[in-house]
């Protein structure tokens, strides 16, 4: 399945007039307010988010899983699906692989396929939360933190193998997410588990190439329900600092306890030059169950406000690895990802509309009301015409969701692949 350029331009014909009207209206208004609309549109067009290979099939829970069929069953097909997303949205120009689920059999062929679809290989993810076929040691009681030296060595070696695989594809980062922790008080010695994890990460770090990053993800609970070894940004930052300058904290939006001020975490990590990556999703209760922006779009906007500030004011912080990390039980996975990409772009666009100078002045004057007005004024702007323009400029479609349906992509995939389903991640 590959979307042709003519399909896109044909599809766009119907909506162009109405797009031009709403874009011109908004662009005029924003220009009068002093915004540089061309620069905002080009920032949006440049913003690319990686699609994780495991989000392309319908997710499930331990209670059941309902397929949408036509799901990708090989790495090639996963990359083709990302190609579809990217062709429509022009904002999904990267894929994030999970090893061992996505080990390429023919590296050149995979690279060529991705290249032809304008897709890069973003961070590679290791997996020490499941036991692998023929593995000598089990991760049942942890991996990098395990009390057994043999288990730790196996997990370290796996991460080094993942770097090696990523290197052959052109990836520049390794993301480590551990399920290590404990389910009951007393099960673990907190200090031993943390020290083991630190020592293991330092061993992995020795194998991180100079132009790579090591991204350390944190999560407060699940699958362990009493303690997680890397439970929060503080733990992640300590480990990153111990490892060295190529190691960073990765923030996954769903990995916070209720009401955490994620925007503040993001802000301070950037100040310290230690925010390396981002996993987008949304949740009512926890983790990555829901589409980006479906529950707390205002929080997402506030986070983007800090990200924009950091991108403009914190040269000490590197470019970030952006990825969607979500699971979808009742939506077509590709539609879900399209909605997520749209929500990310929308929050980014609104954050770009915040008048940073006016905000700074209001903050200096302690004009609390004005500060809120500035933020909410940007938030209340309907920025969708800017998103459309950014997509159009890059050769994408006006409305990705409508185009996906009008072109009957899922129908085409089912015809091509039959009732394939995929085993997905957590």
Task: Provide the binding-site residues for Zn ion, judged by CB under 5 A.
Answer: 252, 279, 287-288, 325, 426
* Single residue of 288, 289, 332, 335 touching ligand AOS by CB under 6 A: 288
CB 26 within 8 A of CB 347: no
Using CB under 6 A as the binding rule, whether residue 256 contacts ligand AOS is answered as no
Closest CA to 275 of 230, 232, 316, 229: 316
Residue 181 has φ and ψ, to the nearest 5°, of 170, -155
The answer to whether the CB of 179 falls within 8 A of the CB of 144 is no
CB of 205 to Zn ion, least distance (A): 20
Q: Tell me: does residue 152 bind ligand AOS (CB under 6 A).
A: no
Structure tokens at 12: 């766009």
User: What tokens were used for 61?
Assistant: 């829970």
Q: How many residues does the chain have?
A: 426
With CA atoms as reference, report the closest residue to 216 among 181, 183, 248, 182: 248
Give the footprint of ligand AOS on residues 154-183 (CB under 6 A): 177
Rounded least distance, CB 327 to ligand AOS, Å: 8
- C-beta closer to Zn ion: residue 78 or 410: 78
Residue 12 or 281: the one with the smaller Cβ distance to ligand AOS is: 281
Binding-site partner at residue 400 among Zn ion, ligand AOS, none, CB < 5 to 8 Å by type:
none
Compute the distance between CA of residue 26 and CA of residue 18 in angstroms, rounded to an integer: 12
Smallest distance, Å, CB 208 to Zn ion? Answer: 19
Decide if residue 276 touches ligand AOS (CB under 6 A): no
User: Is the CB of 300 or the CB of 378 nearer to ligand AOS?
Assistant: 300
- Residue 277 found at the interface with ligand AOS (CB under 6 A): no
The dihedral through the CA atoms of 332, 250, 50, 293 has a sign that is: positive
Residue 306: name its binding partner from Zn ion, ligand AOS, none (Cβ under 5 to 8 Å by kind): none
329: contact with ligand AOS by CB under 6 A: no
Q: State which residue, 87 or 92, has the beta carbon closest to Zn ion.
A: 92
Q: What is the DSSP string of 78-116?
A: HHHHHHHHHHHHS---EEE-BTTTT--S-HHHHHHHHHH
Least separation in angstroms between residue 177's CB and Zn ion is: 6
- Should residue 100 be labelled a site residue for ligand AOS when binding is judged by CB under 6 A? no
Q: According to CB under 6 A, which one of 252, 282, 332, 335 is a site residue for ligand AOS?
A: 252
Q: Which structure tokens are listed for 185?
A: 């008080």
Q: How far is the CB of 193 from Zn ion (least distance, A)?
A: 20
325 is an interface residue for ligand AOS by CB under 6 A: yes
Q: How far is the CB of 422 from Zn ion (least distance, A)?
A: 15
Query: Binding pattern to ligand AOS, positions 7-46, x when CB under 6 A?
Result: ----------------------------------------
Please report, for residues 72, 266, 269, the alpha-carbon distance to residue 333 in angstroms, rounded to integers and kept in the order given.
11, 28, 32
Shortest distance (Å) from residue 175 CB to ligand AOS:
7
CA distance 64 to 60: 6
Angle ∠(54,412,328) on CA atoms, nearest 5: 30
CA atoms within 13 A on the CB side of 196: 24
Is 54 near ligand AOS (CB under 6 A)?
A: yes
Give me the least distance between CB of 345 and ligand AOS, in Å please.
Answer: 21
| Structure tokens that stand for 305 in this block | 């406000």
Residue 102 or 388: the one with the smaller Cβ distance to ligand AOS is 102
Give 273's contacts (C-beta < 8 A, 6+ positions apart): 314, 316, 317, 318
CB distance 82 to 119 below 8 Å: yes
CA dihedral 103, 107, 109, 110 (to 10 degrees): 50
Rounded CA separation 2/114 (Å):
12
d(CA 286, CA 254): 6
Q: Would you count residue 425 as binding ligand AOS (CB under 6 A)?
A: yes
Interaction of residue 306 with ligand AOS, rule CB under 6 A: no
Among 71, 80, 217, 346, binds ligand AOS (CB under 6 A): 217
Please, what is the minimum distance in Å from the beta carbon of residue 98 to ligand AOS?
6
Q: What is the smallest separation between the CB atom of 283 and Zn ion, expressed in angstroms?
A: 9
Helix (H/G/I), strand (E/B), else coil: 217: strand
State which of residues 48, 125, 249, 345 lies at the interface with ligand AOS (CB under 6 A).
Answer: 125
When asked if residue 233 is in the footprint of ligand AOS (CB under 6 A), the reply is: no
Binding site for ligand AOS (CB under 6 A): 54, 125, 177, 217, 219, 252, 279, 287-288, 325, 425-426
């Amino acid at each position: 399945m590959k979307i042709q350029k003519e399909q896109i331009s044909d599809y766009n014909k119907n909506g162009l007039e109405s797009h031009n009207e709403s874009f011109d209206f908004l662009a005029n208004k924003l220009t009068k307010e002093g915004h540089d609309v061309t620069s905002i549109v080009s920032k949006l067009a440049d913003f690319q988010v990686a699609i994780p290979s495991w989000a392309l099939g319908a997710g499930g829970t331990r209670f059941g899983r309902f397929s949408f069929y036509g799901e990708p069953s090989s790495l090639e097909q996963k990359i083709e699906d990302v190609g579809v997303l990217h062709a429509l949205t022009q904002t999904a120009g990267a894929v994030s692989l999970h090893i061992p689920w996505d080990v390429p059999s023919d590296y050149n062929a995979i690279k060529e396929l991705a290249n032809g679809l304008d897709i890069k290989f973003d961070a590679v993810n290791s997996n020490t939360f499941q036991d692998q076929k023929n593995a000598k040691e089990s991760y049942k009681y942890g991996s990098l933190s395990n009390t057994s030296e043999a288990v730790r060595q196996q997990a370290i070696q796996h991460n080094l193998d993942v770097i090696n695989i990523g290197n052959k594809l052109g990836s520049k980062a390794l993301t480590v997410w551990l399920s290590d922790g404990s389910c009951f008080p007393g099960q673990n010695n907190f200090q031993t588990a943390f020290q083991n994890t630190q020592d293991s990460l330092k061993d992995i770090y020795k194998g991180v190439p100079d132009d790579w990053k090591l991204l350390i993800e944190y999560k407060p609970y699940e699958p362990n329900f009493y303690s997680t070894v890397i439970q929060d940004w503080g733990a992640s930052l300590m480990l990153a600092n111990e490892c060295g300058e190529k190691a960073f904290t990765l923030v996954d939006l769903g990995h916070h306890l209720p009401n955490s001020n994620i925007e503040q975490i993001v802000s301070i990590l950037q100040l310290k030059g230690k925010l390396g990556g981002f996993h987008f999703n949304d949740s009512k209760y926890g983790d990555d169950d829901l589409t980006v922006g479906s529950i707390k779009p205002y929080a997402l906007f506030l986070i983007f406000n800090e990200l924009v500030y950091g991108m403009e004011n914190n040269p000490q912080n590197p470019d970030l690895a952006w990825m969607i990390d979500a699971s979808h039980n009742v939506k077509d996975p590709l539609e879900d990802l399209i909605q997520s990409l749209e929500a990310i772009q929308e929050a980014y666009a609104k954050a770009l509309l915040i008048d940073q100078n006016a905000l700074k002045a209001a903050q200096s004057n302690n004009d609390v009301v004005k500060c809120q007005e500035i933020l909410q004024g940007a938030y209340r702007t309907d920025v969708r015409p800017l998103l459309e323009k950014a997509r159009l400029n890059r050769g994408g479609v006006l409305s990705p969701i409508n185009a996906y349906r009008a072109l009957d992509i899922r129908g085409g995939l089912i015809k091509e692949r039959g009732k394939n389903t995929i085993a997905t991640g957590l």
